[in-house]
């Protein structure tokens, strides 16, 4: 009983002290500024009425936001769109170029699709769809520099001198994310299973 009385008394004292504490703590707190009239913002000058943008300023703001979102969408989709265009152009210019076909780059037009390509090196490229079946790549020993990327231009593995085999040759099995088991018919000792990750949605 005595403990209950002490607890109740302490609660009353605390409740009496809280208003005074709050008054001392927030007496110097400035009220938020309510914008009125024209104000300079990161989007340019805008007109406000009691803190709310006027119709003309609000429409300008929405137009800016639409432009920013469109820019974000373009940057997000640029890797896969540019690869798709590169693949489609190769199919249009080369009649027999299909899934898993390898193109020996010889002409200037075939080199235009890559920014870092030069005119003196030998280039081969291929576009592979791993949804229906896995793909096996045989790399011979020697000075070969290559890489495997997905359509989002994410590097999956290196080929040749910069790979784990360090230029000694090897077999690479490309498998899509939906395939659980991959069997290779090759008999090389050095093998590397490369699984393509799922595509990002955002």
pLDDT at 122: 85
The pLDDT, as a whole number, for residue 65 is 93
pLDDT lower than 70: segments of the chain:
1-27, 29, 113, 178-202
- Considering only CA atoms, which of 141, 133, 78 is closest in space to residue 100? 133
Write out pLDDT tens, residues 37-60.
999 988 889 999 998 999 999 999
CA neighbours within 13 Å on the CB side: how many for 15?
6
pTM of the model: 0.60
Q: What is the pLDDT of residue 166?
A: 87
Do residues 161 and 144 make contact, with C-beta atoms less than 8 angstroms apart? yes
Per-residue model confidence (pLDDT) at position 136: 87
Nearest CA to 102 out of 118, 90, 89 is that of 90
Contact call for residues 103 and 124 (beta carbons, < 8 A):
yes
Q: Quick one: pLDDT at residue 73? A: 94
Confidence at residue 185, expressed as pLDDT on a 0 to 100 scale = 47
């Amino acid at each position: 009983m005595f403990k209950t009385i002490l607890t109740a008394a302490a609660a009353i004292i605390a409740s009496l002290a809280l208003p005074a504490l709050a008054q001392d703590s927030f007496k110097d707190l400035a009220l938020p500024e309510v914008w009125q009239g024209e104000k300079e913002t990161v989007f340019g000058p805008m007109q406000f009425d009691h803190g709310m943008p006027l119709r003309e300023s609000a429409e300008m703001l929405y137009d800016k936001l639409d432009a920013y979102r469109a820019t974000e969408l373009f940057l997000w989709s640029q890797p896969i769109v540019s690869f798709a265009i590169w693949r489609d152009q190769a199919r249009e210019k080369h009649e027999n170029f299909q899934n898993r076909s390898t193109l020996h780059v010889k002409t200037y037009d075939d080199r235009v699709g890559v920014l870092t390509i030069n005119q003196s090196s030998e280039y081969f490229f291929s576009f592979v769809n791993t949804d229906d079946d896995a793909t096996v790549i045989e790399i011979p020993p020697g000075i070969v520099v290559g890489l495997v990327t997905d359509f989002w231009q994410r590097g999956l593995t290196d080929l040749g001198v910069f790979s784990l085999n360090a230029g000694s040759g090897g077999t690479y099995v490309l498998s899509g994310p939906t395939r659980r088991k991959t069997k290779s018919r090759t008999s090389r000792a050095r093998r590397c299973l490369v699984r393509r990750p799922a595509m990002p949605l955002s």
